[in-house]
Structure 1
Amino acid sequence: MTDVSVSVVAMLDVSGSMWQAMPMVIIDGKAFIRSARPADQIAVVKFQSNASMVYPANQALVTVDGQMTVTAAAAAAIATLTSGGSTDMGDAVNMAAAMMAGATNATKAYMLLSDGDWNVGPNPNTVMPADVPVFICGLGSGMSQSYVSGMLSKNANSRYIASPNAYQMMQVFNSIRGLAAQAAVPTNVIQAYSGTDYSLTPVTIAGTSDEVQFSVVWSDASISYTSGQPDANHVNLVLIDPSGHSTPYQPVIADPGYAIFALNAPQTGVWQILTQYAVANPLTGTHAGFEYDTVLHLDLKTPTMVSQGSGFTIRADLTDAGAPIENAAVSARVTRPQFELPAMLARHREAIARHQDANPDHSPHAALKAVLEQTAPGVEHFPYASTYVPLVQAEDGSYQAEVGATETSGAYNVEVIAKGASTKSKTIFSRTGRSTVLSEAPET
């Protein structure tokens, strides 16, 4: 197997409409960058009324060193981000493309986080290059279907994954990390932390990878990792090996809000992440595993966009060194919007206009969210509902399922989980994948 190093430019929206999500943008952005490995190349761009560098100061990719001082410096720069201004996404894309021209790794990717449309600067559809895939994390419900599909159309490997809420953002970042680095993601789940308690998260590690990461990211940077018994505002993490024994492994990176373990040649089987915590206020944690340089892959395919009322097909290609894996248990959770965003925007048009007069940096969607929270605080104004669908193996070896009519417009999130045993590599495995299908309302 050949090691895959990746060159990644992260583009982060810090416009005025991102103000509520900024604490999670900082934690998750830092954790995403800190998961980079030696020989990866990274850079971080922010965009608001204009685009500018976050890390490094000059416009160039930086190669991650063995001591991880590069990712530490990048994380420190991300920690200083604040929100404000408009959304100049196009210039961020131009900056990213200029840096990517100097990339020396064969695998390249852009990561783009935004909560809405660009409203100043060049059109990102026009300037998005075709030679490098872009992985888009759409926060909330305000992403424009037209320009998302336009950017994705430039490269067949590009993907869009929606994050309805800020606390779910790290799950999307984990999926993007796996796609960008051609790594497998065996586990990618959210856990709730409350009071003094513990949780166990299973992570099935296949016998085809010599390098594994375990990542835990929690939603409050005032909570720190501790190697001992957790007291007030601390989290303790222990890796339990497949034989059920607690291991002495410590995180290679432990910063406020997250911790990352890196293991070489790990034992095959079901590991457990034991999370012990003592927190004053409830919070969430995103627990994930990554297998690098593996031959066992899940390739999830869904359409980018469908017309409202149409259904769509979920296809999962589950392979071992390119050959289909048979008799796996594959299922999908499909999360559907239970609201019509265009109708909500129209219904509250006057209140949105008043809010935008006072907050000109806020997008219509951000203004709608603020208006609804002011009129009915504590209510879920953008509800989603989930259904579970089994995928059946087809004659060509892929696993497929049909999703019925998309009754409402908006983002339909698909999360696929595949578990089984490969007779070729003679190992058990678990794989996860995420995608988003945009249901487009007819023009009126």
Structure 2
Amino acid sequence: MGRKIEGPFYPYSQQRGEKLMAQVSVSSIIDRSSSMGYYNYIEPAKTDAATFVSIMRANDQIGLVAIDDTSPVLYTLNTLDTNHDVIQAALNVIKGISSYGNTNIKNALTNAHSMLGSASNPAKAIILLSDGEYNVGGDPLSGLPTDIPVYTIALGNSSGIQTLQSIASQTGGKYYFSPDAFELAAIYNQIANDSRVAQTSLNQRQQIPSYQFSSLPLQVPANTAHISLGVNWLNSQIDYTAGTPGVNQVSVLLRDPNNQKVALPPTFEGGEFVTFHLHDPLPGQWTVGCWCGQVPNNQFQGTMGGFEPQDSSSLSLHATHLCQHKKAPVNLRAALDTKGRAVSELQVRAYINSPLHSLAEIKQQHEQRLNTIQTDPAPEEGMSSSGPQLWALHKQLLPTENIFQRKTLPINVDASVDNDGRASINIPPFAFDNVGEHNVHLEITGKYASCGSRFSRTQQISLSATD
């Protein structure tokens, strides 16, 4: 994982005049307990964590902690260099992770927090990914330090959602729910924004049939010193190629604002991801495309992310309540901070991704099947009692039927600009139509009045609805 491509790499210059974000120190906690292997989460989780590390900048700091019986430090905090040797070392550690053991979240947080005690950067963050409730080591909320934000990810329907929500809330971090491994990459991309690694300007999942091409626009404002692009995918049978893709291959194509193809080798190439670091890119609308050959199940599932380390416009999204009754109005607050720069031509889009059926409805609909389903031996750790049965049925019915199917619906939203070029975003209250975990996505594009170049930002938030 994470083969470094030899080539000329440069410090992140500021010759274009845009102020860069402050350096950040991150401790990434990756759950490697037995259930991560049981649910086939471990490899996608490693890919997404590796992609996150590979977009970090020189003088950022990264450390790695595992979740298992004792939750040890896997990679001590190190400062990234311009030759990317530290990134490569961290990627090699991630590649070697395998799943086993229990879920000791408390010790993982203790080790991650202690690691950041020696951090030299002003911004600090902990990322915590887990697919299960803690079952050894004690309650992680007891004695939880609150001076460093923890960004938590609950992966799958057996995850300890309430615990992870509380950890994020008490530390000033943010909670995310990933219904499956496909959604996980977009969440890591968003946490890059939240943890101040970079502003997330592009964050889109893509499902591309065999022999097809799909492209997305990437806005690069004037005075941008550096951007990073990350593309990763779920299927480990698929490899990256710089040429025409063949069987089980995908190619990533970049075109600059003049529609010229940019033959840039990836800065990092992993088993299921590639990242590109572009220095002093031409301002304007770039195009990022994926071209697939013949791929398994005739579908490529990948995520494209674009990242700007410039300290420019930032988009925020907050909710009055992270967990509430499904019939109560959902109140969201969104804001675009342009650091005093006037903007125009705002375009905004919001949508919600929700479960088609609640877990209770799924169990009721498939009661007879669940009574007869043969389950694999399940690990005795952090898993709900019905989790193995539902997962076994889910695997048995795929790809014909998805019992955990979700739906995406638009949300009303509007954006306006006052006479001074200040932006405001309004999301009217709405209600959930089902219990369970919901993800709200917000995207905005606009134009800086001073230079006339366009920008884009993304945000998302995870909310729980109860009966």
Partner of 1:405 in structure 2? 431
| Of 276-285 and 133-142, the range deviating more from structure 2 | 276-285
- 2:427 partner SS: strand
Q: Distance in 2 between matches of 1:159 and 1:356?
A: 34
Partner of 1:328 in structure 2? 346
Instruction: Specify the code of the residue in structure 1 equivalent to 2:72.
Output: S
1:438 and 2:456 correspond: no
State the TM-score, normalized to the length of structure 1. 0.90
Instruction: Say if 1:352 and 1:103 are closer, same or farther in 2 by CA, change over 3 A.
Output: farther
Selected match of 1:202 from 210, 217, 241 = 217
Instruction: Say if 1:226 and 1:410 are closer, same or farther in 2 by CA, change over 3 A.
Output: same
Instruction: Say if 1:345 and 1:120 are closer, same or farther in 2 by CA, change over 3 A.
Output: farther
1:423 and 2:449 correspond: yes
Q: Distance in 1 between matches of 2:303 and 2:323?
A: 28
Q: Distance in 1 between matches of 2:372 and 2:170?
A: 34
Selected match of 2:104 from 88, 109, 116 = 88
Selected match of 1:7 from 25, 37, 44 = 25
Q: Distance in 2 between matches of 1:324 and 1:343?
A: 49
Deviations 1:69-95 (A, max 9, x none): 111111111112222222111110011
Partner of 1:140 in structure 2? 156
Q: Does the 8 A contact of 1:145 with 1:438 survive in 2?
A: no
Instruction: Say if 1:382 and 1:273 are closer, same or farther in 2 by CA, change over 3 A.
Output: same
1:284-433 equivalence runs, <5 A? 284-302=301-319, 303-322=321-340, 325=343, 327-341=345-359, 359-361=379-381, 363-364=383-384, 366-373=387-394, 376-378=397-399, 379-393=401-415, 397-424=423-450, 426-433=452-459
Q: Which runs of 5+ in 1 are unaligned?
A: none
Q: Distance in 1 between matches of 2:294 and 2:22?
A: 38
Q: Distance in 2 between matches of 1:224 and 1:430?
A: 30
Q: Does the 8 A contact of 2:52 with 2:192 survive in 1?
A: yes
Q: Distance in 2 between matches of 1:356 and 1:274?
A: 39
Aligned residues: 436
Instruction: Specify the code of the residue in structure 1 equivalent to 2:347.
Output: A
Q: Distance in 1 between matches of 2:446 and 2:309?
A: 19
| Of 138-147 and 349-358, the range deviating more from structure 2 | 349-358
Instruction: Specify the code of the residue in structure 1 equivalent to 2:461.
Output: S
Q: Which runs of 5+ in 2 are unaligned?
A: 1-18
Q: Does the 8 A contact of 2:412 with 2:428 survive in 1?
A: no
Instruction: Say if 1:4 and 1:61 are closer, same or farther in 2 by CA, change over 3 A.
Output: same
Instruction: Say if 1:155 and 1:253 are closer, same or farther in 2 by CA, change over 3 A.
Output: same
Instruction: Specify the code of the residue in structure 2 equivalent to 1:97.
Output: H
Selected match of 2:184 from 158, 162, 169 = 169
1:222-233 equivalence runs, <5 A? 222-233=237-248
Q: Distance in 2 between matches of 1:344 and 1:231?
A: 39
Q: Does the 8 A contact of 1:209 with 1:294 survive in 2?
A: no
Instruction: Specify the code of the residue in structure 2 equivalent to 1:413.
Output: N
Deviations 1:53-112 (A, max 9, x none): 22x2xxx31111211111111111111222222211111001101101111101111111
| Of 307-316 and 165-174, the range deviating more from structure 2 | 307-316
Partner of 2:267 in structure 1? 252
- 1:229 partner SS: coil
Instruction: Say if 1:324 and 1:130 are closer, same or farther in 2 by CA, change over 3 A.
Output: farther
Percent of matched pairs sharing the same residue: 24
Q: Does the 8 A contact of 2:249 with 2:295 survive in 1?
A: no
1:32 and 2:52 correspond: yes
Q: Does the 8 A contact of 2:374 with 2:392 survive in 1?
A: no
State the TM-score, normalized to the length of structure 2. 0.86
Distance apart, 1:115 and its partner CA: 1.5
RMSD, aligned CA: 2.7
Distance apart, 1:254 and its partner CA: 1.7
Deviations 1:312-339 (A, max 9, x none): 1232211211467455111211112222
Q: Which runs of 4+ in 1 moved over 4 A?
A: 322-327, 342-358, 374-377, 394-397
Partner of 1:100 in structure 2? 116
Q: Distance in 1 between matches of 2:166 and 2:382?
A: 23
Instruction: Specify the code of the residue in structure 2 equivalent to 1:391.
Output: V
Q: Distance in 2 between matches of 1:164 and 1:207?
A: 37
- 2:331 partner SS: strand
Instruction: Say if 1:252 and 1:66 are closer, same or farther in 2 by CA, change over 3 A.
Output: same
Q: Distance in 2 between matches of 1:375 and 1:239?
A: 39
Distance apart, 1:194 and its partner CA: 3.4
Distance apart, 1:342 and its partner CA: 5.1
